[in-house]
């Protein structure tokens, strides 16, 4: 990941953390900064109730727990009573986790684009066109 990608990723994380902190100030509920599901390298800010709604609709596996959400998140706010906040050491670890995820998603997106281009060239070469459903 080059320096510009890393800076862009940092800005994206900083904005998501700011939104999570604002939501925490408004509602008092714990909010989590989570990776998106579609491979688009976006971040979601959600609380427990939204997590359960996404689970019910099938976007998240039914085996997932709120504890798993805490482990997979890149940032989370404290509980309503102020306990359970991230220490500086944990926060640095979560930021490294985020950059690692972002680099892997970037690499996967490049690979998908490369494979799509290869498939398109093969179809053009063979004279066949596949219909998308």
Helices 88-126 and 3-27 cross at an angle (nearest 10°) of: 120
**CB-based contact 36:42 (threshold 8 Å):** yes
Question: How many domains would you assign to the chain?
Answer: 1
CA distances, 113 to each of 4, 6, 109, 110 (Å): 20, 20, 6, 5
Here the tokens at position 45 are: 């800010």
34 secondary structure, DSSP code: E
Mean pLDDT of the chain: 90
List the one residue out of 91, 65, 64, 89 whose CA is nearest residue 77: 91
Span 23-67, pLDDT tens digits: 999 999 999 999 987 778 899 999 999 999 999 999 889 999 999
What DSSP character marks residue 61?
-
**pLDDT single digits (tens) 88-130:** 999 999 999 999 999 999 999 899 989 988 888 888 888 765 6
The whole-model pTM stands at 0.83
Count of CB atoms within 10 A of residue 79's CB? 13
Domain that holds residue 107: 3-131
Phi and psi, residue 77, nearest 5°: -85, 165
Rounded-to-integer distance, Cα 54 and Cα 126, Å: 42
């Amino acid at each position: 990941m080059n320096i510009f990608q890393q800076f862009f990723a940092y800005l994206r994380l900083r904005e998501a953390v700011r939104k999570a902190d604002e939501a925490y100030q408004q509602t008092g509920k714990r909010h989590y900064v989570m990776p998106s599901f579609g491979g688009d390298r976006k971040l979601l800010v959600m609380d427990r109730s939204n997590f359960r709604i996404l689970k019910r609709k099938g976007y998240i596996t039914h085996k997932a727990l709120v504890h798993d959400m805490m482990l997979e998140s890149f940032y989370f706010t404290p509980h309503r009573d102020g306990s359970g906040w991230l220490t500086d050491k944990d926060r640095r670890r979560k930021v490294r986790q985020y950059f690692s995820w972002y680099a892997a998603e970037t690499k996967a997106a490049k690979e998908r684009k490369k494979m799509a281009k290869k498939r398109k060239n093969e179809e053009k070469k063979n004279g066949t066109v596949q219909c998308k459903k």
